[in-house]
Amino acid sequence: MGAARDAKEEKEKERICVFSARMLVKVVHPAEVRKKIVALVDSLGGFPSAVTDQKLTIRVPPEKFPGLIRDIGNYGMVIEKTMQREDITEKLAQLSGRLRSKQDILEKLRSFFDDSNVKATLQIEKNMTQLVIELEKVKGQLRVTMDKARFATVEVAFRFRKRDKVVYVYSPFQWLNSVDLDRFLAEF
């Protein structure tokens, strides 16, 4: 039974997955929390990819992903959280296969130059140009897909209620005039 489990774990290690999460966190001071999260992500070997007042998109190594999700939850109240894992092993294999196939065809076309006349050479060059465009497109798709797998993505949206400053009005009750409402609301 142990050998079967080891084989299954080894096969899982060969799989390449993309991890992503979206979180909605209720916080009191979003700017402070955003700074703390960016510092945490930096210490984990990640980086912010988009920062706005209401939203933060961060990228971290996949092995740091679960801990980051847990730590973000400590900065406020998590209202909503969705996590996703996508296995891209097959997609990468298909892209790699397409790349090798197109490279093989390009090499084959190059071998036709020696025995061709001017008209055939122009046609071969036209086909090679089109093939190089397709090759670059596949290489780009492969790079983007691998980049998605190298870093997990977490989108954190902040929800907060902005409190308006209390306008002081003189009250006929003297004790009410002595209450420091700003301090009371700050501690509340």
For helices 89-111 and 118-150, what crossing angle results, to 10°? 160
Report which of residues 28 and 62 the model is more confident about: 62
Mean of the pLDDT values across residues 93-109? 91
CA distance linking residue 116 with residue 128, whole number of Å: 14
CA geometry: angle 7, 12, 15, nearest 5 deg: 135
CA distance linking residue 67 with residue 65, whole number of Å: 6
138-170 pLDDT, tens digit each: 999 999 989 888 999 999 999 876 655 656 667
Kindly report the pTM of this predicted structure.
0.63
